[in-house]
């Protein structure tokens, strides 16, 4: 009886979450405009979406660059920072950790303009790299918390054995500990990818060149339409295009994500 209730609830929740996506796919492939003037099935919506603006490929590439910068720097910084907070002893360690977590308490939109000014000092305004650096900052609290707990969940004897065998601290981290915290690193990478791929407000503020727009901003402009007209078919096709990489990455890394989230949430 309990098993039946579990599967029934899981099925209902799955349908609830999948129905909007299934409906979007249906709308992108069916209709008069999807079938070039005849009511039926077709990919004409995707053709118009591909040709929109500078080309959907350009917007996807821009988004991929931002996501690559965000994921790479977030994983590297939080892995090294998590190791330092979990394993090393230095003055101000706990204060530094709490200050990093305090970023979560700062309203996101209140610091966008100051960040825009700071990027101007470094010549990174209207830059995909600058946008990636901003997104890294907002991923640090969760990533550092996750990696600290992942390192603390590993037995200290693993590192001690590596040091006795002649490894340096960096060697022990690279050869032994990273394998143990790999699920946590994958979890941080997954969260960073999803956040950077779908981010809308920061690209809207920091990017002024239309050729550098990311996919969410391009889809917003497509939704705005010309002279009040909105091509809903092409917009639905764009939504499907934006969602597919997120779905694919999540399904690919799901096994590591589940184990990494469990390791990062529980110590012992």
Query: Do the Cβ atoms of 66 and 131 come closer than 8 Å?
Result: yes
pLDDT tens string 69-87: 999 999 999 999 888 888 8
Q: What is the pTM of this model?
A: 0.86
249 contacts 193 by C-beta, under 8 angstroms: yes
Q: How many residues does the chain have?
A: 268
Query: Which of 213, 91, 195, 108 shows the shortest CA–CA distance to 143?
Result: 195
pLDDT tens digit sequence for 210-262: 889 999 998 888 776 556 667 788 888 888 989 999 888 888 877 776 665 55
Distance separating alpha carbons of residues 63 and 85, to the nearest angstrom: 32
Domain 55-265: CATH architecture, name and number where available: Orthogonal Bundle (1.10)
The tokens describing 228, both together, are: 């009040």
């Amino acid at each position: 009886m309990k098993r039946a209730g579990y599967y029934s609830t899981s099925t209902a929740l799955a349908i609830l979450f999948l129905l909007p996506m299934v409906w979007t796919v249906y709308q992108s492939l069916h209709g008069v405009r999807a079938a070039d003037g005849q009511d039926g099935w077709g990919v004409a919506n995707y053709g118009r979406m591909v040709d929109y603006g500078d080309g959907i490929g350009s917007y996807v590439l821009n988004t991929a660059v931002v996501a690559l910068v965000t994921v790479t720097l977030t994983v590297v910084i939080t892995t090294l920072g998590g190791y330092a907070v979990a394993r090393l002893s230095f003055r101000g360690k706990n204060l530094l950790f709490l200050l990093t977590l305090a970023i979560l308490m700062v309203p996101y939109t209140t610091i966008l303009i100051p960040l825009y000014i700071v990027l101007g000092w470094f010549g990174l305004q209207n830059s995909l790299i600058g946008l990636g650096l901003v997104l890294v900052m907002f991923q640090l609290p969760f990533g550092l918390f996750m990696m600290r707990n992942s390192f603390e969940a590993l037995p200290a004897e693993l590192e001690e054995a590596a040091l006795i065998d002649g490894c340096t601290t960096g060697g022990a981290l690279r050869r032994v500990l990273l394998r143990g915290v790999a699920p946590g690193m994958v979890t941080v990478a997954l969260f960073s990818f999803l956040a950077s791929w779908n981010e809308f407000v920061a690209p809207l503020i920091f990017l002024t060149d239309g050729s550098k727009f990311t996919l969410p901003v391009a889809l917003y402009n497509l939704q705005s339409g010309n002279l009040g007209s909105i091509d809903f078919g092409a917009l639905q096709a764009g939504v499907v295009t934006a969602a597919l990489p997120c779905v694919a990455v999540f399904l690919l890394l799901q096994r590591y994500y589940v184990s990494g989230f469990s390791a990062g949430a529980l110590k012992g």
